[in-house]
A and B are shown apart, each in its own frame.
Chain A
């Protein structure tokens, strides 16, 4: 019980501190977003700027995310092997 009260107190204190210190305004000029929304259709031909972003400007992100999905599937298959299953190799 005491541990839970301590955890609640810690979380509330951290929340209040972060909310109170969140006063610095973010900058209004977004250079990457402005460049992409201006030039995405001219450079890639795709009118959806999000697709142009994750397939052209940030394509390593998509590539290694697909690789990570494959790794997680390998982990799921490897960790759920029980002995004596007839569906295994």
Chain B
């Protein structure tokens, strides 16, 4: 009884919302720059999971074939086509932020946001 209820709670959308807040926690409470970048990647993965699990049905067939009208449940091709774009955008964002981090590390020699700010003279 309880196990069935828990199984209905754990679906793609709830897991993606949980992942989103895990990434949000990493962005809020961590001072490491690398962990910030990893948290941004986790946020992006949760978005992809949410969009793909929005129109999920257990009887879905993949949208490939000449006569898709024969099937009653076909997977939605629009979020899949949009999420290809989102994956490549996430890869490029991660690459650019890692490059900025490496040049910042060569300049200041630390991976902490506050130490970087202190060395820049923005805070005391």
Q: Which residues of A contact B (CB under 8 A)?
A: 3-4, 7-8, 10-12, 14-15, 18-19, 22, 26, 30, 32-33, 36-38, 40-41, 47-50, 52-54, 58, 61-62, 65, 68-69, 72-73, 75-76, 79-80, 82
Contacts and interface: CB of A to CB of B under 8 A. Distances in A.
A69 B13 CA distance: 29
A80 B102 contact: yes
B89 A48 contact: no
A75 B23 CA distance: 25
Contacts, number: 109
B74 interface: yes
Given A7-B29, A37-B63, A68-B89, 12 more contacts: A22-B14, A26-B55, A32-B78, A37-B68, A37-B69, A40-B68, A50-B81, A53-B77, A65-B85, A68-B92, A80-B102, A82-B103
Contact of A33 (B13, B69, B78, B99): B78
Contacts of B28: 7, 10-11
Contact of A38 (B17, B24, B69, B89): B69
A26 to B, nearest CB: 7
B123 interface: no
Contacts of B68: 37-38, 40-41, 49
B82 A49 contact: no
A19 B14 contact: yes
Interface in B38-66: 54-55, 63-66
A3 B31 CA distance: 11
A80 B28 CA distance: 28
Contacts of B78: 32-33, 36, 53, 58
B97 to A, nearest CB: 10
